[in-house]
Amino acid sequence: MRRTTAMRSALSALLLLATWATASTLPASAADTPARTTAEPAAPALVSAMQRDLGLTRDQAEARLAAERTATTVERAAKRAAGAAYAGSWFDAGNGSLTVAVTRGADTGAVRATGATVRLVEHSARQLDAAKAHIDDLPAPEAVASWYVDPEANAVVVNVVDGHRADNDVRSFLARARSAGPVQVRRTAYAPSTLAAGTVGGDPYYTGNVRCSIGFSVYGGFVSAGHCGQPGAAVYGWDGSYVGTFQGSSFPDNDYSWVSVGSGWWTVPVVLGWGTVSDQLVRGSAEAPVGASICRSGSTTHWHCGTVLARNATVNYSQGTVYQLTKTSVCAEPGDSGGSFISGDQAQGVTSGGWGNCSSGGETWYQPVNEILSRYGLTLHTA
């Protein structure tokens, strides 16, 4: 049980601990929790974090958040208008608009009428997704870090660890990948790894000798990363008290889990700001477009922001391959696994892994939240 004298000062952390669970966006059938129709004012803490991590002024950060809310709505309408000619989309922070790629034969007038900028490309999203699915079936050598569909490049991007492109197994993999469709090879400095950690202090949750971070609250518990624990494993909170158990977990292939909450713990629709920023309310789980700003909360490095770089990425961890992750420019470190990714007030996903750190920089991947909700029949706790 928690010490009575600590209740007042620890209440915020306690509530949030059973709160931040993120989700995954694998299947198109996983419905977004709808965003609020009336625009909420940008939280000052979120704006200040964007100023710090994205180099924006206050006015620029607020304007970008407003433009991204509009782009999220435009993206859905433009995809419907493009139909089979849809080839992906991305948010352009420079002009604050959404660009939608389409193939020949598209009703470009109807797509533009949604408010999107149109770009004509050769390959449809369906063709690119089919090429990536074929690559997903190939055995990948360790030096192939990840791959994903890049709508702006109109190709499947394959990231190879620097200095290994000439390796025989890498060359063989790339040759087979190119036979599936358009492939663009890029270099990456590091191989990805998951971000769990041994037991240390902070405000996390623990299972065995592993420390991870809570993602988002759902009714009855919270969601987090799958590599943090197996079904049936006990979970303990920041103060060592029993929280609940892993009710479901999947890793590799996926990287998601959910933990039931009891024993005096409860859930609230909040992502912890760690004193760096104010705590953030969660109002839905509408998926942010590529190029949108996004922030992450975790028990090691606390609060950091960046942008969405790619959706539907495949990541080749040493423990196995994980599919349909979202790639970001946000940094993270061991112990941040499972933590919340949020865009504005919309839950995006839970931290899976990455490379680098928050001193010199790096990249991360998250499991989209909506697939987690769909997989386990959970309901996101929203404000």
Q: Of the residues 53, 146, 217, 227, which is catalytic? A: 227
Cα torsion 143, 145, 150, 156: sign: positive
Cβ-contact 114, 78 below 8 angstroms:
yes
Phi, psi angle pair for 39, to nearest 5°: -70, 125
39: DSSP letter = P
Question: Which residue among 285, 337, 340, 343 is the active-site one?
Answer: 337
Yes or no: say if 175 and 299 are a contact pair by the CB < 8 Å rule: no
> What's the half-sphere exposure (Cβ side, CA atoms, 13 Å) at 60?
13
Question: Is 227 an annotated catalytic residue?
Answer: yes
Distances (CA, A) of 96 to 34, 265, 294: 22, 41, 15
Evaluate whether 195 touches 353 at the Cβ level (below 8 Å).
yes
Looking at residue 343, its amino acid is S
Please indicate whether residue 337 is annotated as part of the active site: yes
- Is the CB of residue 248 less than 8 Å from the CB of residue 258? yes
From the candidates 53, 150, 255, 279, which is the catalytic residue? 255
Query: Which residue, among 234, 221, 303, 291, has the nearest Cα to 260 in the 3D structure?
Result: 221
The single-letter code of the amino acid at 374 is S
241 among known catalytic residues: no
| Catalytic positions, written as ranges | 227, 255, 337
